[in-house]
Amino acid sequence: MELLNKYIELSNNKETFDKYTQTGEGMYGKTFKFMNTNYRYIKSILTNYNTFKEVDGVDRSEWEVARHGQEKLKQHTVNMLQMKLFSKNDRVYYKTRKGEVLEKINDNFSEEEKWFIIYLLILDSYFCGVPNYVLTRTKEVIENFMITNIEEKELVEIIKKFIIMSSSLDICELFKEDYMYFDSFYMTFKDGNFLNLYVESTKEQKEELWNYITKNYKEKSYNCILSKKYKPSGVFDRGMIRDNAKLLFMSQFINRQKEIGFKDFIDNLINRYALIETFDSGKIKQFIYTNRDVFEMIYYNIFDIDILEISSQEEIKINEQEENRVLNNEEHLDKTSAENIKELKRISSVLKKKAKERANYKCELEDSYMCQNHYFTSKETHKNYMEIHHLIPREFSNDFERSIEIIENYVCLCPRCHRLIHLAVDRERKTAINQLFNRRVNELQRRGLNISVEQMKDYYGIKE
């Protein structure tokens, strides 16, 4: 009775009940935060994109307004930017090369094939201000699951079994499946570590729990956590939890991949998907390689590969006229396509050189960290060796109406201070970022990049 009694106790506590059944901010009712009212399923992304593309290139003043006075498509703007399906300039949204690829998914593809392609396209999205959100969130959730001391291999099999079973079972039958409880209680609230208790319980105790939940559901009482969460027309349903499981199953696998080339990455991921779904792998591969420029860029982003460093190493010769064009540029460059990297490399080459000259080859944190004592001479320039840091990180470039590839966003740092910003404890990073922000904020604003210090700290993942 211990398992059932604990479940009833959690359900009878209003605070706990709300925590596990509601999906709003700060609640535990959903695993992936971007899956909300308008994005209940992965397939919703394609549907919503096809709706939003109607305003491609249309000034926001011309958008259709609903009866309550709000723009009908306003609820899609953030996700469209964070998925990098659109970029914006002033009051106009433009679809990116990635958006164009998503648009190519049509009825010739099965639902399973559509899911896989959409999944690939959102892998480098920065939902909730977190780069590669799906992969990062998967790591967090899996780690939460592991507090039960269950082996990761066994956990993956539980997820896999659920995905396969959930396509044909009704919700009451799914209440029997272990993954339902992992997904529902992935977060521990206060001292109620229900998931750990569940894992350690006997088959008989789990069956007793299932009978209780099923009876509650069939009688339409909905006064326990799972029956409430999964009641008809409620906040969650079978399709949503199945998407959760598929996201975890695929993303856990990617998180275990290391030093793998693009072709092997695609092949391995297709083979992984074949363990849980039936689809035409040849058709998928043809689509990916036809649009390789986008999928390869996603690959570079999720594995944190600096494509500017691995692209052609030939010296870039740029005349003064070209330099001036770069320095005055405020237009977005579509970074969802690897084909644009050559142009980005040209822009970056100019800005890096000019930023170092602007700083007189000195670290912009020199006064605070006395890093002049650590300077050394570059073989290439015969000046202090310096590195360039994007104050507004590239991962969040789509948040802005103007390009962040401007000299005002390029900060000259010594290697020590550059590593400090990326790798030091938050207390030390916060001090450095505050200083750089205060020095550059007015310049950034003059170039149309309006950002607060709070937003900047969010980008760096600094918690107060």
| Nearest-angstrom CA–CA distance, 132 and 237 | 26
Is residue 266 domain-resident?
Answer: no
Predicted local confidence at residue 322, as pLDDT: 67
Out of 180, 209, 229, a domain closes at: 229
| Nearest-angstrom CA–CA distance, 107 and 215 | 40
Distances (CA, A) of 246 to 41, 158, 162, 352, 375: 11, 12, 9, 42, 49
- For residue 147, the enclosing domain spans 2-229
**pLDDT mean values, one per 10 residues, the chain (464 residues):** 92 95 91 91 97 95 84 93 93 95 96 98 96 97 92 96 94 96 91 87 96 96 96 90 98 94 97 98 98 96 79 52 70 84 83 93 89 87 94 94 92 95 94 95 94 94 82
0.85 surpassed by pTM: yes
| Nearest-angstrom CA–CA distance, 452 and 456 | 6
E strands present in 54-125: 86-89, 92-95
Is residue 273 domain-resident?
Answer: no
379: DSSP letter: T
Burial class, 256, CB count within 10 angstroms (exposed 0-12 / middle 13-18 / buried 19+): exposed
Please, what is the Cα angle at 29 between 130 and 113, to 5 degrees?
65
Going by C-alpha positions, the residue among 10, 19, 253 that lies closest to residue 142 is: 253
Is residue 275 domain-resident?
Answer: no
Out of 229, 259, 282, a domain closes at: 229
Going by C-alpha positions, the residue among 318, 448, 343 that lies closest to residue 392 is: 448
Is residue 133 domain-resident?
Answer: yes
- Per the structure, the count of domains in the chain is 2
- Greatest alpha-carbon pair distance for the chain in Å reads 80
Predicted local confidence at residue 208, as pLDDT: 96
Residue type, 191: D
Q: Both 17 and 164 in a single domain?
A: yes
Predicted local confidence at residue 308, as pLDDT: 66
Q: Both 30 and 133 in a single domain?
A: yes
Q: Both 330 and 222 in a single domain?
A: no
| Nearest-angstrom CA–CA distance, 249 and 166 | 14
Q: Both 40 and 143 in a single domain?
A: yes
| The pair of three-digit structure tokens given for residue 412, joined into one six-digit string | 């000259």
| Nearest-angstrom CA–CA distance, 406 and 326 | 8
Is residue 296 domain-resident?
Answer: no
Helix axes 426-446, 415-423, angle to 10 degrees: 110
Is residue 158 domain-resident?
Answer: yes
